[in-house]
């Protein structure tokens, strides 16, 4: 019996060892396959980024390498290169990866985290690749960052990000303790902040949801009283279906105040629907290549380059809807509310000149296609006075044929 028991136990050990070695070998092979698949997926979905694995040394129990991500495009800003040397430990049907992360703009410039902002520390990450379901998880911890040039000061404390990647969806969850920025024009501070994002499906048919909660935000600027907001909640949902994009945005600002005076609460819900997806992504790709355009540095050449994509985005006759705007507080006898819609007539819009955005004639032709109505209830007297409707608390704004009316009286003509 003892010999039989020993032989059985020996057989089990051999089988177990074989399974473990086989699983480890499978993990080593699948880690390379899965990592390359994730790199290709990220590069396909983020054309402004060039991600690759370099200096790869493959081993049976462990592997090493460096992930390098470089921003691309035609921007005047120097490209940013993020490097992340890693060590992968291959286990039974899964791989644990750990490493550090840093960034620099040029080969001879100092590293952003370890040299400039974090006093010698680097960001650290840990990831798990599950080879059966092709999923992966990632945790990134960023050291406290601080920069002070004299004219500008920036600080970010306690940034931590967790990500879960699956074949047809991903989820990101993050938070930081405090963020501050100050320059000659003013100062912005944010307290404890949490954010998350989820995408289900692939770009052609997908839904993406983003949420953010900010505590104790404070903004001060020259010639303005500082404003504080106890809690700010922001959320958006983007859906891509039938070659169309729809986006909803919600915002809620609670307990706003200035100089000790309560301002109240603000709530807003709006949506943009029926945008041609190809045109939207075409315009977005150009803006990603030229971030200076998004900052207002737009010339005639930029407008000409953007025109074809913008016209295509508008060709599906999109609609902007303000479902809810509500501002209530001790300064007002009644809550200020607003709602309305603006429609764009996209019929044959792509027949307009290819430089329509860059010319006065083209811009007026686009403005002529706008039609909308917005109703503002309990308008503050100063607003009624500005629009030429004193003592009228209900203001109805209508837009037609480039003309903006307030309570059926012409207020201004757009594009003139």
pLDDT digits (tens, 9 = 90+) for 30-54: 777 777 887 887 888 777 778 888 8
pLDDT for 10 equals 42
Mean residue pLDDT across the chain:
85
- Tokens coding 259: 């100089």
Task: List the helix and strand counts (H, then E) for the chain.
Answer: 6, 23
pLDDT of 117 > 90? The answer is no
Are residue 412 and residue 265 in the same domain, yes or no? yes
Q: Tell me the mean pLDDT in the region 95-118.
A: 82
Alpha-carbon distance values, 148 to 114, 183, 186, 337, 362 (Å): 15, 10, 15, 42, 45
Are residue 196 and residue 270 in the same domain, yes or no? no
pLDDT of 357 > 70? The answer is yes
Q: How confident is the model at residue 14 (pLDDT cuts 50, 70, 90)?
A: very low
pLDDT of 25 > 70? The answer is no
pLDDT of 262 > 90? The answer is yes
Q: How confident is the model at residue 372 (pLDDT cuts 50, 70, 90)?
A: very high
Q: How confident is the model at residue 12 (pLDDT cuts 50, 70, 90)?
A: very low
Number of domains in the chain: 3
pLDDT above 70 as % of the chain: 90
**pLDDT higher for 154 or 201?**
154
Are residue 229 and residue 81 in the same domain, yes or no? no
pLDDT of 233 > 80? The answer is yes
Domain limits at 120?
Answer: 20-138
Q: Tell me the mean pLDDT in the region 388-416.
A: 91
Are residue 288 and residue 350 in the same domain, yes or no? yes
Q: What are phi and psi of 282, to 5 degrees?
A: -65, -45
pLDDT for 219 equals 94
Q: What are phi and psi of 74, to 5 degrees?
A: -105, 20
d(CA 324, CA 316): 25
pLDDT of 6 > 50? The answer is no
pLDDT for 77 equals 64
Q: How confident is the model at residue 75 (pLDDT cuts 50, 70, 90)?
A: low
Are residue 87 and residue 170 in the same domain, yes or no? no
d(CA 88, CA 28): 9
Torsion of CA 161, 85, 83, 37, to 10 degrees: -70
Q: Which of 115, 138, 161 is the last residue of a domain?
A: 138
Are residue 36 and residue 108 in the same domain, yes or no? yes
pLDDT for 103 equals 85
d(CA 252, CA 182): 25
Q: What crossing angle do the helices spanning 277-289 and 300-314 adopt, rounded to 10°?
A: 160
pLDDT for 411 equals 93
Q: What are phi and psi of 61, to 5 degrees?
A: -95, -25
Q: Which of 107, 138, 169 is the last residue of a domain?
A: 138
Alpha-carbon distance values, 223 to 186, 187, 226, 262, 293 (Å): 10, 13, 9, 19, 28
Q: How confident is the model at residue 217 (pLDDT cuts 50, 70, 90)?
A: very high
pLDDT tens digits, one per residue of 313-342:
999 999 999 999 999 999 888 999 999 999
Are residue 260 and residue 328 in the same domain, yes or no? yes
Are residue 121 and residue 67 in the same domain, yes or no? yes
Are residue 278 and residue 305 in the same domain, yes or no? yes
Q: Which of 95, 122, 138 is the last residue of a domain?
A: 138
Asked if the structure places residue 323 within a domain, the reply is yes
Asked if the structure places residue 2 within a domain, the reply is no
Among 104-108, 121-125, 234-238, 309-313, the least confident range? 104-108
Asked if the structure places residue 247 within a domain, the reply is no
Q: Tell me the mean pLDDT in the region 410-414.
A: 93
Asked if the structure places residue 369 within a domain, the reply is yes
pLDDT of 16 > 60? The answer is no
pLDDT of 134 > 60? The answer is yes
Asked if the structure places residue 73 within a domain, the reply is yes
> What residues have CB less than 8 Å from 340, skipping those under 6 apart?
321, 322, 372, 373, 374, 375, 397
d(CA 35, CA 53): 9
Are residue 355 and residue 235 in the same domain, yes or no? no
Q: How confident is the model at residue 76 (pLDDT cuts 50, 70, 90)?
A: low
d(CA 278, CA 333): 47
Asked if the structure places residue 208 within a domain, the reply is yes
Q: How confident is the model at residue 27 (pLDDT cuts 50, 70, 90)?
A: low
Asked if the structure places residue 103 within a domain, the reply is yes
Asked if the structure places residue 248 within a domain, the reply is no
Are residue 413 and residue 287 in the same domain, yes or no? yes
pLDDT for 2 equals 52
Are residue 94 and residue 116 in the same domain, yes or no? yes
């Amino acid at each position: 019996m003892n010999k039989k028991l020993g032989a059985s136990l020996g057989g089990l050990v051999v089988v177990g060892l074989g399974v473990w070695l086989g699983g480890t070998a499978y993990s080593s092979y699948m880690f390379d396959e899965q990592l390359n698949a994730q790199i290709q997926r990220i590069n396909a979905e983020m054309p402004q980024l060039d991600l690759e694995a370099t200096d790869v040394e493959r081993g049976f129990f462990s592997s090493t390498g460096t992930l390098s991500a470089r921003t691309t495009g035609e921007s005047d800003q120097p490209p940013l290169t993020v490097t992340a040397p890693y060590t992968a430990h291959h286990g039974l049907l899964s791989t644990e990866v750990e490493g550090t992360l840093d960034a620099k703009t040029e080969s001879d410039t100092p590293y952003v985290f370890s040299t400039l902002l974090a006093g010698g520390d680097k960001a650290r990450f840990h990831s798990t690749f599950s080879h059966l379901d092709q999923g992966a998880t990632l945790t990134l911890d960023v050291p406290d960052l601080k920069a002070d040039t004299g004219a500008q000061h920036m600080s970010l404390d306690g940034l931590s990000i967790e990500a879960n990647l699956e074949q047809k969806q991903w989820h990101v969850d993050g938070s930081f303790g405090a963020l501050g920025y100050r320059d000659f024009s003013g100062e912005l501070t944010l307290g404890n902040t949490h954010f998350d994002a989820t995408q289900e499906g692939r770009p052609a048919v997908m839904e993406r949801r983003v949420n953010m909660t900010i505590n104790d935000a404070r903004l001060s600027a020259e010639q303005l009283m500082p404003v504080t907001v106890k809690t700010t909640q922001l959320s958006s949902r983007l859906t891509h279906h039938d070659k169309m994009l729809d986006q909803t945005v919600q915002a809620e600002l609670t307990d706003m105040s200035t100089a000790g005076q309560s301002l109240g609460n603000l709530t807003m819900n709006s949506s943009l629907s029926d945008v041609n997806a190809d045109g939207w992504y075409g315009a977005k790709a150009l803006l990603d290549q030229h971030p200076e355009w998004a900052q207002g540095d737009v010339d005639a050449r930029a407008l000409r380059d953007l025109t074809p994509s913008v016209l295509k985005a508008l060709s599906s006759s999109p609609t902007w809807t303000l479902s809810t705007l509500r501002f209530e507080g001790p300064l007002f006898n009644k809550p200020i509310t607003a709602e309305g819609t603006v429609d764009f007539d996209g019929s044959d819009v792509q027949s307009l000149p290819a430089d329509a955005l860059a010319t006065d004639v083209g811009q007026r032709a686009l403005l002529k296609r706008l039609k909308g109505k917005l109703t503002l209830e309990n308008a503050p007297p100063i607003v009624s006075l500005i629009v030429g409707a004193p003592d009228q608390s209900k203001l109805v704004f209508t837009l037609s044929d480039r003309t903006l009316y307030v309570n059926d009286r012409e207020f201004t003509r757009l594009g003139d």
